[in-house]
Structure 1
């Protein structure tokens, strides 16, 4: 039996929950430490909070806990935004105690050659890690004598020698996995219980240039079916087992939830009778057919996020590989709204080739389709995604910038991401687009005509983009989401205090 300690940023990680479930099923021990507040936290980056709840104090306490009671393996699951902090923690752990350290998650998967060269990192897990981690734990004693094992999906290092094992084939029948270990995260932060997060799908049918699926497809080339979906019965059984009176909302985290209409028909019949909680999800415009929209309403869907990213067809198609026309997108939004499903649309600032004229066209298009919410993101470049190559070819970034991205040194989305061009225009339109749902269509058309967006630049992220969403929440069935989100912010502070007292 092996003991694994996971260290994650202060949010729920579905991948870790699945790995934990597999390990516990085979009698291994799993513990979890969260890092709840980071120096560049997207929501808690407030001077008073950062002063009172010091990341450095928490890090010292975390390392002491590990050295006092070392596990067999310390496992970090890190997205690129968390990687530099995870790397820093791992380095300090290694300086105190020689415990094996393994890194997994999307950052380690996309740039394993960089991660494995860190002197304090012993192993890198690439891709889906359930069975790789299980095999590592099963062979724990063997690893102590031979740190260069032949376990697929894991790269091992011993001194200067690196063993790069191959990628195993994808598990095509997702129903073979046990139910994810929600207790691991819910015990750590009880506020997570208010929103039940799950995924019915792995993979994505699309190839957007800015998305991690863009990189993952190449890693899993010829390794089996990339896009896979659990059976309806498997999903419903998980929800029946875990959804409780505390659960206010279910959130399907699939990249695109309703890509199979036959599956959706069965789901729409079973979910209201056996679960019945309101739910929200991500969706692609191409999936918003009249039939799918009707079935989503029947099942109990109240809110969807639709990735549009730009209202300009040419730049959207050329640089993002989003080929749907504005006419098709408008029809998709209409189908959803006709079924009383509230629609949030995602907009990305920093699409190459876009300036004031293209953003103005986007504003006009969004005023025609009238979303309930506009969420504004700054383009943030992630390792080995296609958009990084595009940015470099257009001289929007340098080779040094790419090296920083690959080492997890990047600016968070809420601080402007990777965008260094047309920043003034993008900032003006952040406010202008996010306030669109608050303004009548006829009046917003006048604002466009009078070019009032030129006076709309707000430095405050809250006032420019979050405030309009908060005002609109009662009208968009979004109050539960806000309560859950604020509850999680408070939950992270409580976790910090409890951890420091323990």
Structure 2
């Protein structure tokens, strides 16, 4: 059987879900074509509704590439719903092959998905997809395949979700073969074969020591997360898997991971670093961390980047990874307010956050500045809560970066359900999926968060600006517009400083890449102001 998997995906095309599915489907003897549709969500705005769409020539390319498929699948996250829907509607008009949806969003809202697709895979899809393909090959009844919801006229067949896959080493590595892989080239606006050379262009460039940039290969060594944050889709997934008897957080064996990395280095000699996209790499037991570090240092030896959490980060694990080549750590803080942390089910105290930041700071000679994640624009958050976060950041040693994002209500997370129950969410359809992720509102605490992204502001300036008197003064609506102007001027000065530094170093390649990024590369958008 021939499967075509299509994924509207972030620009790095890591797309671990479809790469895992493709690898397993191929290992079971079926054909699989992968089509990546990279695009950002950066145009989503709070003041207008934006709908991404693909131009007709891209849809025609998709129709051509899927013409011989026995089954067409789409996997996507919530913010890519509009793009997945447009692709589905177009393919339904031109092809008779059944369409199946899967991924985080369809698994969270399978009834909604069945309004558009013939079938929905819920949960981990490797075994479900292979069983479905085998039923289609034999002409057998697929309506009872576990993990599959099926639409048959007005009838819906809702089969139970499969248990989580206990042994991750029973699965093949992610499919980065570039064999029968296609990608939307934003420069040409058309689909083209994904070659090794094109993958080299697409892989992200991450900051390295001394102002360098390193081309990084992204992968994952586990599935799951040790936390249960109420804003995250993980909480909804854990709830669905509560009766499985399989731990939600599972690790691939250290040797399997190392073997994959060695193979990647041999296949793609242009890879200069690895970035592990595990939710919390430090969640592995110390013995596994030390085993990984020893093998990685001996057989891989490239710089690598990880994510952590304040509760899993400790010095013995950190030292082992530093000796292996670790150069960067990021972790989530989300809020400095005890009340909001309880709302988020974040159990780390502020003292634990400070201790984790100080640990990284003590090893700053071997690490790049860390990034800390913060959530803003929470409807339950008061100005006092937001200022608690600002004052926590004031306690953390510089330098550090901030990744600030809006609170987004992902379907059927605890915060989503609470917002619906309290009447804060009345439109839970596609309009909700278009809410911006990186567009904080204009408030004084958000201005201060932005100020913390500048590394050389004297501490006395922060101390003055976070005082109660300053908060009362600058929170006045009449002063928020000037603060917005200050923010724009600051960004302009930051850009000039970076550009001046690149010019002084003669770093024309970096300048050219920046100018290239100024060109619009996403699918077109339509929108209307509220």
Alignment TM-score, normalising by the size of structure 1: 0.82
**Which residue in 2 is equivalent to 1:62?**
61
1:56 and 1:346 map into 2 onto residues whose CA distance is 35
Q: CA offsets per residue over residues 403-453 of structure 1, 9 Å max, x none?
A: 446xx643121345xxxxx75346434423333x33232332233344568
Q: Where does 1:180-195 land on structure 2 (aligned, <5 Å)?
A: 180-184=174-178, 187=195, 189-193=199-203, 194-195=215-216
User: Structure 1 pair 344/58, CA: closer, same or farther in 2 (3 Å)?
Assistant: farther
Secondary structure at the counterpart of residue 17 of structure 2: helix
**Which residue in 2 is equivalent to 1:201?**
222
Q: Where does 1:398-409 land on structure 2 (aligned, <5 Å)?
A: 398=425, 400-404=426-430, 409=433
2:161 and 2:496 map into 1 onto residues whose CA distance is 43
**Which residue in 2 is equivalent to 1:448?**
466
**Which residue in 2 is equivalent to 1:136?**
132
2:44 and 2:493 map into 1 onto residues whose CA distance is 14
- Judge which range, 222-231 or 133-142, deviates more: 133-142
User: Structure 1 pair 150/384, CA: closer, same or farther in 2 (3 Å)?
Assistant: same
2:334 and 2:14 map into 1 onto residues whose CA distance is 25
- Judge which range, 197-206 or 441-450, deviates more: 441-450
**Which residue in 1 is equivalent to 2:208?**
none
1:442 and 1:467 map into 2 onto residues whose CA distance is 21
Q: CA offsets per residue over residues 204-240 of structure 1, 9 Å max, x none?
A: 1111001111000111122122111111111111100
Q: Where does 1:15-94 land on structure 2 (aligned, <5 Å)?
A: 15-37=17-39, 41-42=41-42, 55-66=54-65, 69-94=67-92
Q: 1:173 aligns with which of 164, 167, 187?
A: 167
Q: 1:150 aligns with which of 134, 144, 163?
A: 144
Residue 238 of structure 1 pairs with residue 260 of structure 2: yes
How far off is 1:368 after superposition?
Answer: 1.4
User: Structure 1 pair 103/461, CA: closer, same or farther in 2 (3 Å)?
Assistant: farther
User: Structure 1 pair 494/412, CA: closer, same or farther in 2 (3 Å)?
Assistant: closer
Q: Where does 1:396-435 land on structure 2 (aligned, <5 Å)?
A: 397-398=424-425, 400-404=426-430, 409-415=433-439, 424-425=443-444, 427-435=446-454
1:470 and 1:17 map into 2 onto residues whose CA distance is 40
- Judge which range, 128-137 or 75-84, deviates more: 128-137
**Retained in 2: the 8 A contact 1:355–1:425?**
no
1:54 and 1:153 map into 2 onto residues whose CA distance is 30
Residue 360 of structure 1 pairs with residue 378 of structure 2: no
User: Structure 1 pair 490/183, CA: closer, same or farther in 2 (3 Å)?
Assistant: farther
**Which residue in 1 is equivalent to 2:185?**
none
**Which residue in 1 is equivalent to 2:324?**
299
Residue 348 of structure 1 pairs with residue 369 of structure 2: no
Secondary structure at the counterpart of residue 4 of structure 1: strand
How far off is 1:245 after superposition?
Answer: 2.6
Secondary structure at the counterpart of residue 60 of structure 1: helix
1:12 and 1:466 map into 2 onto residues whose CA distance is 33
User: Structure 1 pair 495/26, CA: closer, same or farther in 2 (3 Å)?
Assistant: farther
Q: CA offsets per residue over residues 167-210 of structure 1, 9 Å max, x none?
A: 22222111111111112466364434532111111111111001
**Retained in 2: the 8 A contact 1:347–1:376?**
yes
User: Structure 1 pair 459/281, CA: closer, same or farther in 2 (3 Å)?
Assistant: farther
User: Structure 1 pair 439/183, CA: closer, same or farther in 2 (3 Å)?
Assistant: farther
User: Structure 1 pair 392/425, CA: closer, same or farther in 2 (3 Å)?
Assistant: farther
- Which structure: greater helix fraction? 1
1:463 and 1:330 map into 2 onto residues whose CA distance is 27
**Retained in 2: the 8 A contact 1:37–1:492?**
no
How far off is 1:345 after superposition?
Answer: 0.3
1:461 and 1:122 map into 2 onto residues whose CA distance is 48
2:389 and 2:428 map into 1 onto residues whose CA distance is 29
Secondary structure at the counterpart of residue 401 of structure 1: coil
How far off is 1:384 after superposition?
Answer: 0.4
**Retained in 2: the 8 A contact 1:204–1:256?**
yes
User: Structure 1 pair 470/254, CA: closer, same or farther in 2 (3 Å)?
Assistant: farther
User: Structure 1 pair 63/14, CA: closer, same or farther in 2 (3 Å)?
Assistant: closer
User: Structure 1 pair 219/462, CA: closer, same or farther in 2 (3 Å)?
Assistant: farther
2:403 and 2:464 map into 1 onto residues whose CA distance is 22
**Which residue in 2 is equivalent to 1:478?**
none
- Judge which range, 423-432 or 165-174, deviates more: 423-432
Q: CA offsets per residue over residues 255-308 of structure 1, 9 Å max, x none?
A: 111112111111121111111111111111001112222222122211111100
Secondary structure at the counterpart of residue 182 of structure 1: coil
Structure 1 residue ranges without an equivalent (≥5)? 417-421, 475-481, 497-502
Q: CA RMSD in A?
A: 3.4
Structure 2 residue ranges without an equivalent (≥5)? 182-193, 204-214, 502-508, 524-530
**Retained in 2: the 8 A contact 1:268–1:296?**
yes
Q: CA offsets per residue over residues 46-79 of structure 1, 9 Å max, x none?
A: xxxx9xx983234433344246x33111111110
2:313 and 2:229 map into 1 onto residues whose CA distance is 18
